[in-house]
């Protein structure tokens, strides 16, 4: 059986399969990449973060150590500062000795924050600071102190002038006279006011390089604060007394003016005295007498009127009883009857009817005349009495109205008088009150009551307040670890190297077929022969795992022709080829390993074979396949070395002569493996990968660049290569992939090391 080029070109291009929910799904590079992204995009891998910290632990510890040492140096270079503290009790209001006491501060509730905040600001006032400075003669001491600034500020200033010179702004500032930094500000920079929560206690502290001076300043400040509070009381009393004296003078002037107006008004209106007890005096008395007389007259008039009306009623009855009037009325009735009877016969104008009408009128006139005569004679004396009573009543009513008008006029005048009198009384009371207040304020101003007292005076401090060496070192260590961690993650972010298999899978969208460990202290020959010489080692077990994965890499199992390449040199590509060939041979496969790196061959050196004839001779028709195939010390593994270096390796690899090597499979060999040059910058790997049935890309741990790998994969796909996966080489224990494990545990035989979570019998 021969392996023709046609069979090679028609080699199935298959991809690994992935087990998903119990079914086999073809896994292309595209959907493999998407499935991994779906699992990783929405979650934070804490193990990956931990692996970053472990990888960068040297950087983190170095930065933490540098910051710690820097903090220690700065702390030791700082001048020790001592703090002395005095404890004060501040009450919101002092005890009042008098009813009208003078307070230096507002008397407010004990929980009033405004009051205590005012006291704290007074403790930090420039006035109190100046008073303390003058009392202790601290001007020379404060002038000798430098403003707080970093110890390296002067050095930085000199370096700045050395490189950039003096700026125009600095030159101008030298010509302008500025005010000096006030001594009070220097003093207050060292002062600290610390209220004790939920109490009336406040701690006042002062920091100084001299502990004795710190205690002296603190006690002096407390005493000056108490004295200033008392002085403010005295100043308040003095101000109040001055103000009251001015108000007293004004009140006295107003009292004299109102009294003068009252006297002038009384003279003008002819008012002798208008007391409330004798309102109206004579007029009121006279008006009362008239009112009594009017009442009596009304009584007499009513009695006379009653008698007169009774007499009139009695006279009407006598008129009716008179015989003459009765006789006249009978005649009148008779005539009226006749008139009505004859009116039925005659008209009213008839002479007889007119005569009867005249007789009727005559009798009526006689009745009226007789009635008047009788009435005029009845009670003429009672009528005269009634008229006299009514006239008397009318006269009294008129006089009473006159007196009432006079009284109202008098009361109108009294309104103005009373107004002026009340003004006089008000001004007199104000004058007397102010006079009494001045006397009391004068006494209160001399009484030394105070609402501030010293609870604990300041003592000379026996230990420094700052710098706090332990705290600074702890903060420096924490800051160093934090900066180290930040820088570690920053370096990790900027680092373009591949450091775990998960990154490699996400980057390439290819499955990682194998992960091979790094062998410490081994040269390249020993690493290449590790599978053959140490079959129980971690390296051998890794390649046996790779061999197993290749069984499922394509539908036909292990590819018959395989190209192994990398993006850059020195990524353990040749070692991978040799160890993989060894693992396949150990499984009973006949393997032909071809060193296709015609620029820098290494396979003959690792197998210690003759390289005088090799692939270059075969491709130039200088030798046949039987001449270049050499047996090795590894059973089942044959090698075709690169042969002499050729000036045109790309043309040689592109020749049809290379196809004849594929004919050896499966006649003489089961698989042929090509050790290819790197893909970046060279076309050799592209030609080889296009002509073999499968290609594997090798990436070295913490060495292969992500950009180079993606570019290599892109070039391979452009060359129509069937890239079936990747191999992650030189992986250190605990860093190979997402699940940190140690190859010394999982790939070693006969080891006495205990597996994780394993218990001994």
Closest CA to 587 of 553, 641, 545, 626: 545
**pTM beyond cutoff 0.75:** no
Residues 482 and 539: their CA atoms lie apart, in Å, by: 38
Among 5-14, 231-240, 480-489, the least confident range: 5-14
Give me the helices (H) in 343-379, please: 351-376
Q: pLDDT tens across 320-340, in order?
A: 667 777 888 888 888 888 888
Q: In this structure, what are the phi and psi dihedrals at residue 282, rounded to the nearest 5 degrees?
A: -65, -45
Q: pLDDT tens across 436-449, in order?
A: 776 666 555 545 56
Contacts of 152 (CB under 8 A, 6+ apart): none
Specify the residue for token string 């077990």.
Answer: 541
Confirm if 674 and 642 have CB atoms less than 8 A apart.
Answer: no
Confirm if 216 and 82 have CB atoms less than 8 A apart.
Answer: no
Closest CA to 200 of 113, 106, 101, 83: 113
- Judged on CB neighbours under 10 Å (0-12, 13-18, 19+), 42 is exposed
pLDDT reported for residue 634: 95
The DSSP bridge partners found for residue 83 are 207
Residues 147 and 142: their CA atoms lie apart, in Å, by: 10
Could you give the 3-state DSSP secondary structure of residue 235? Answer: helix
The two structure tokens encoding residue 538: 């971690």
Confirm if 565 and 678 have CB atoms less than 8 A apart.
Answer: yes
Alpha-carbon 664 to chain mean position:
77
Could you give the 3-state DSSP secondary structure of residue 537? Answer: coil
pLDDT reported for residue 312: 64
DSSP of 147-169 = PP--TTHHHHHHHHHHHH---HH
The two structure tokens encoding residue 160: 């700045």
Q: pLDDT tens across 516-553, in order?
A: 998 876 778 888 898 999 999 999 999 999 999 999 88
Confirm if 591 and 670 have CB atoms less than 8 A apart.
Answer: yes
Confirm if 274 and 418 have CB atoms less than 8 A apart.
Answer: yes
Q: Between 232 and 155, where is the model more confident?
A: 232
- Judged on CB neighbours under 10 Å (0-12, 13-18, 19+), 691 is buried
Beta-strand (E) ranges in 114-216? Answer: 191-195, 201-208
The DSSP bridge partners found for residue 456 are 87
Q: pLDDT tens across 634-672, in order?
A: 999 999 999 999 889 999 999 999 988 888 888 999 999
Residues 495 and 632: their CA atoms lie apart, in Å, by: 41
Confirm if 742 and 734 have CB atoms less than 8 A apart.
Answer: yes
Confirm if 698 and 571 have CB atoms less than 8 A apart.
Answer: yes
pLDDT reported for residue 106: 44
Q: pLDDT tens across 52-82, in order?
A: 888 889 999 999 999 999 999 988 888 888 9
Confirm if 504 and 726 have CB atoms less than 8 A apart.
Answer: yes
pLDDT band, residue 724 (cuts 50/70/90) = very high
């Amino acid at each position: 059986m021969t392996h023709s080029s046609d069979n090679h070109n028609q080699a199935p291009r298959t991809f690994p399969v992935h087990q998903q929910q119990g079914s086999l799904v073809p896994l292309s590079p595209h959907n493999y990449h998407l499935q991994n992204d779906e699992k990783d995009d929405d979650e934070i891998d804490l193990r990956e973060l931990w692996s970053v910290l472990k990888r960068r632990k040297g950087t983190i510890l170095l930065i933490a150590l540098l910051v710690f040492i820097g903090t220690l140096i700065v702390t030791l270079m700082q001048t020790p500062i001592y703090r002395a503290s005095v404890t004060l009790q501040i009450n919101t209001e002092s005890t009042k000795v008098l009813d009208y006491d003078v307070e230096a501060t507002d008397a407010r509730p004990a929980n009033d924050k405004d009051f205590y905040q005012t006291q704290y600001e007074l403790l930090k006032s420039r006035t109190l600071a100046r008073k303390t400075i003058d009392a202790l003669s601290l001007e020379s001491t404060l002038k000798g102190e430098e403003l707080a600034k970093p110890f390296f500020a002067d050095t930085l200033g000199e370096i700045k002038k050395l490189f950039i010179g003096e700026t125009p702004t600095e030159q101008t500032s030298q010509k302008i006279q500025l005010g000096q930094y006030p001594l009070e500000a220097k003093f207050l920079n060292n002062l600290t006011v610390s209220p004790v929560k939920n109490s009336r206690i406040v701690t006042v502290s002062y920091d100084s390089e001299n502990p004795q001076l710190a205690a002296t300043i603190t006690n002096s400040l407390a005493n000056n604060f108490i004295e200033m509070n008392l002085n403010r009381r005295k100043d308040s009393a003095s101000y109040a007394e001055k103000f009251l004296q001015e108000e007293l003078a004004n009140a006295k002037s107003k009292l004299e003016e109102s009294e003068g107006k009252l006297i002038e008004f009384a003279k003008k209106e002819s008012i002798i005295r208008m007391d409330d007890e004798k309102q109206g005096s004579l007029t009121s008395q006279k008006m009362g007498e008239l009112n009594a007389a009017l009442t009596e007259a009304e009584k007499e008039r009513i009695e006379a009127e009653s008698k007169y009306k009774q007499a009139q009623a009695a006279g009407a009855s006598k008129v009716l009883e008179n015989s003459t009037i009765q006789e006249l009325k009978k005649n009148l009735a008779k005539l009226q009857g006749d008139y009505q009877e004859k009116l039925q016969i005659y008209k009213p104008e008839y002479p007889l009817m007119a005569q009867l009408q005249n007789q009727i009128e005559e009798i009526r006139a006689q009745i009226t005349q007789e009635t008047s005569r009788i009435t005029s004679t009845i009670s003429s004396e009672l009528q005269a009495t009634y008229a006299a009573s009514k006239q008397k009543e009318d006269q009294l009513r008129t006089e009473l109205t006159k007196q009432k008008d006079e009284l109202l006029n008098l009361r109108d005048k009294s309104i103005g008088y009373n107004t002026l009198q009340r003004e006089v009384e008000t001004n007199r009371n104000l004058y007397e009150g102010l006079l009494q207040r001045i006397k009391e304020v004068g006494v209160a101003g001399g009484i030394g009551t105070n609402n501030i007292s010293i609870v604990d005076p300041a003592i000379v401090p026996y230990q420094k307040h700052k710098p706090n060496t332990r705290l600074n070192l702890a903060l420096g260590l924490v800051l160093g670890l934090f900066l180290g961690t930040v820088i570690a993650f920053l370096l990790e972010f900027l680092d373009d190297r591949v450091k775990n298999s998960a990154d490699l899978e996400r980057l390439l969208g290819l499955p990682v077929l194998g992960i091979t460990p790094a062998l410490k202290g081994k040269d390249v020959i020993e690493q290449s022969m590790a599978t053959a010489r140490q079959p129980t080692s971690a390296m051998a077990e890794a390649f046996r795992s790779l061999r197993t994965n290749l069984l499922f890499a394509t539908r036909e199992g292990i590819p018959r022709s395989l190209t192994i390449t990398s993006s850059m040199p020195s990524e353990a590509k040749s070692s991978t080829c040799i160890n993989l060939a060894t693992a396949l041979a150990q499984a009973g496969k006949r393997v032909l390993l071809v060193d296709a790196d015609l620029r820098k061959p290494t396979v003959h050196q690792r197998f210690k074979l003759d390289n005088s004839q090799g692939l270059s001779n075969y491709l130039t028709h200088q030798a046949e396949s039987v001449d270049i195939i050499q047996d090795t010390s590894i059973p089942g593994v044959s090698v075709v070395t690169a042969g002499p270096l050729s000036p045109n390796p790309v043309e040689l690899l592109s020749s049809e002569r290379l196809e004849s090597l594929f004919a050896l499979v499966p006649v003489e060999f089961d698989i042929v493996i090509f050790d290819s040059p790197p893909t970046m910058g060279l076309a050799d790997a592209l030609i080889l990968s296009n002509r073999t049935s499968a290609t594997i890309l090798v990436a070295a741990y913490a060495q292969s660049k992500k950009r180079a790998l993606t570019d290599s994969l892109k070039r391979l796909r452009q060359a129509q290569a069937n890239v079936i996966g990747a191999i992650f080489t030189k992986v250190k224990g605990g860093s190979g992939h997402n699940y940190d494990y140690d190859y010394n545990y999982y790939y070693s035989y006969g080891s006495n090391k205990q597996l994780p979570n394993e218990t001994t019998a």
